[in-house]
Amino acid sequence: IRLDPQMFEAYRNLGHLEWTEGHPDPARAALKKALELSPDDPYAHYYIGRLELDLQNYPEALGNLDKSKSVWPQDAEFDLLAAEGYASLHRTADGRSLLARVQHFDLTTPQAVRLGALRLACQQPEEGIAVFERLMSKFPNSAWAQFDVALAHLEARQPAESERIAHSSPE
């Protein structure tokens, strides 16, 4: 940066390093400078979008991430975070698109629970219930899995089915 203050890549890389080190304010400043110098740089938009996503500043995050889709990673955790942002902003079509991608990943159990909840939040009750039913099949003796299926049915406005499942649980 001292050698060439107009080199946007240097600011972008500094911003990325500051973000990965957990320094959001210096990261944001460097990435904004990179975008001043190169407003269409998808990587700078991606990194500042990730930074804001981590901080749950969803409008700012998704505004930048929308400008960087060409460089998005194939990463379930990122897609779930972005889908949470879209759901919170009531951009359900965008959330659904990401969730369709996520379902093809090998998810951890907590990620699968988030996927099911996000399917419900993005107004896909059948898909959300299906996720929770798969978890209940995988963990048949787990009260939490039965509870999540019952809750999913309740969220989907199926109170009778929710009650049936809840009563089948010994806990």
Of the chain, the percentage scoring pLDDT greater than 70 comes to 99
Task: Kindly state the average pLDDT of the residues 141-168.
Answer: 88
Evaluate if residue 14 carries a pLDDT over 90.
yes
Task: Kindly state the average pLDDT of the residues 105-125.
Answer: 95
Q: Is 39 exposed, middle or buried (0-12, 13-18, 19+ CB in 10 A)?
A: exposed
Instruction: Give pLDDT, residue 9.
Output: 96
C-alpha 152/C-alpha 11 separation (Å) is 45
Evaluate if residue 143 carries a pLDDT over 90.
no
Query: In which band, very low, low, confident or very high, does the pLDDT at 171 lie, cut at 50, 70 and 90?
Result: low
C-alpha 151/C-alpha 125 separation (Å) is 11
**Residues 52-96: pLDDT tens digits?**
999 999 999 999 999 999 999 999 999 999 999 999 999 999 999
Contact of 133 with 146, CB cutoff 8 Å:
no
Which is more confidently placed, 29 or 159?
29
Three-state DSSP at 74 gives coil
Of the chain, the percentage scoring pLDDT greater than 90 comes to 84
